[in-house]
Amino acid sequence: MSGRRIAVFGAGYVGLVTGACFAELGHQVVLRDVLPEKIAALERGEIPIYEPGLDELVERNRERLRFTTDVAEAVEGAELVYVAVGTPPTYSGDADLSAVWTVVDELPDDLDRRIVLVMKSTVPVGTGDKVRAALDARGLKNVGYVSNPEFLAEGTALHDFMAPDRVVVGGFDPADADAVAELYSKLDAPIVRTDVSSAEMIKMASNAFLSTRISFINEIANVCELVGADVTAVAEGMGLDHRLGKHFLKAGIGFGGSCFPKDISALKQLAGNSGYHFQLLSSVIEVNELQKRRVIGKLQKHLGRLRGTRIALLGLAFKPGTDDMREAPSLVLASRLLAEGAQVRTWDPVASAVDLLPTATQCDSIEEAIDGANAAVIVTEWSELADLANPDVRERMANPLIIDGRNMLDPAKVRAAGFAYEGIGRPSHETGLGAATTG
């Protein structure tokens, strides 16, 4: 198959990864964004986001990738027009689709050939029907519409695109859906062909279910703490059941990022707008909010009042492998600590919270952050923190207490190294049993 000509609207995270990966698959891609400075930077070879491997991918495919702010230039010659613009939450929890509608409105009236508009952005179920109706109302019968949602996790997005668990394609017209499915023909991935609304729901339901698993294991962790069980062993034992699987059962200080919080609130809101109260999702959201605050209680247990204490927050990004601070649990935790009167010193290898947390001190190294600290809290499981429980750190801290918000350290080793240790859902004293073993 020869490459197809694709326009991608929106050079944000999803648009950049999608455009670069399609170019890698041999397609000709034009990335269009409204921000001239972003397009200028991309033309200079500067990638505005942190995603491992993306700069090399863009560089390697320069010949098949163009960047523009001009709609006519992007659409000219394109067979498929991908929509990859942001759909942030509004105050009501609905998704803000204004950028999506701008793309639809910008499509030229005088198309002399068929194009397929493909929705990559995460949109509420029913959006495809509304866009189809708007296109029809403008007489744009030669513009097809297909839903092709993304399942890209930050930090592994290139792998998620090139080796996906599945590609979901939902179209009104089978020939349009065929054209989209063909774009992925070089990949060894199952293609799920369905109607537009079901494709939209697959995306929303997948993120809602993954979030539900996290809030579920976080509640199990909280009960484990009360009854003396270890949630890491529990999750391992549960995950071996093939009906459950091991993924997304890591207890911690809650989920964040640009997708889960926004998408579950959009699904809850969509259900509500349609007359259904999605009770389970309300609980998932509430559990996650409370989970971000649980570290405060653990610190108080060891330190008493937090006023005047010095707390090191290690990791700021909502997960490792990204500099993304959107909905990061670190922000809620730091704000609570500052409100309690603690001094907060932060460290992260790539993310910055200088603007978001102006009264916290952002440090360049782990050593600087933990210097004189009454406690060190692992907020993001960066690999740099694997060796945190070492003699140098113990010497530097005013009080050797580690709160492991991601259960990344071995409690027995940390305690043997002379630290007090608290994880999430792990016994706060040595049980002599350790993690689950199989065999």
Contact set with ligand UDX (CB under 6 A): 150-154, 207, 210, 214, 248-250, 252, 255-257, 259-260, 318-319
408: helix, strand or coil: coil
**Minimum CB–partner distance for residue 377 and ligand UDX (Å):** 15
Copy the structure tokens of residue 348. Answer: 């992260």
CB of 332 vs ligand UDX, minimal distance in Å: 12
Return the residue matching tokens 């703490």.
Answer: 225
Beta strand pairing call for 401-404 and 420-422: parallel
First-last CA distance in the chain: 48
- Residue 7's φ and ψ, nearest 5 degrees, are -105, 135
> Nearer Cβ to ligand UDX, position 151 or 347?
151
Q: Which residues contact 401 (CB under 8 A, 6 or more apart)?
A: 302, 303, 374, 375, 376, 419, 420, 421, 422
DSSP letter (8 states) at residue 5: E
SS3 call for 47: coil
φ, ψ for residue 115 (rounded to 5)?
A: -125, 160
Query: Which residue sits closest to ligand UDX, CB atoms considered?
Result: 259
d(CA 154, CA 350): 14
- The answer to whether the beta carbons of residues 176 and 182 sit under 8 Å apart is no
Q: Which lies closer to ligand UDX via its Cβ, residue 149 or residue 171?
A: 149
Task: Give the nearest distance from C-beta 363 to ligand UDX in angstroms.
Answer: 22
In the structure encoding, which two tokens stand for residue 153, read together? 């996790």
Residue carrying structure tokens 């999803």: 14
Residue closer to ligand UDX by CB (options 68, 147) is: 147
Helix/strand number for the chain, H first, E second: 17, 14
Sign, CA dihedral 96-98-103-107, equals positive
Considering the complex, what minimum distance in angstroms separates the CB of residue 21 from ligand UDX? Answer: 14
Minimum CB separation of residue 354 from ligand UDX in Å reads 21
Instruction: Give the residue with the Cβ less far from ligand UDX, 189 or 210.
Output: 210
CA gap 237, 349 in Å, rounded: 33
Burial tier of 133 (Cβ tally within 10 Å: 0-12, 13-18, 19+): exposed
| Catalytic site includes residue 363 | no
Residue 31 belongs to what H/E stretch? strand 28-32
Set 21, 224, 259, 363: catalytic member? 259
Q: Are 373 and 303 in contact (CB under 8 A)?
A: no
Minimum CB separation of residue 324 from ligand UDX in Å reads: 8
Q: Which is nearer to ligand UDX, 4 or 250 (CB)?
A: 250
Which residue number, 209 or 276, has a Cβ lying nearer to ligand UDX?
Answer: 209
Least distance from ligand UDX to the Cβ atom of residue 63, Å: 29
Nearer to ligand UDX, 417 or 422 (CB): 422
Residue in the structure block whose two tokens are 């460290």: 347
Distance of alpha carbon 161 from the chain centroid? 14
Positions marked catalytic: 259
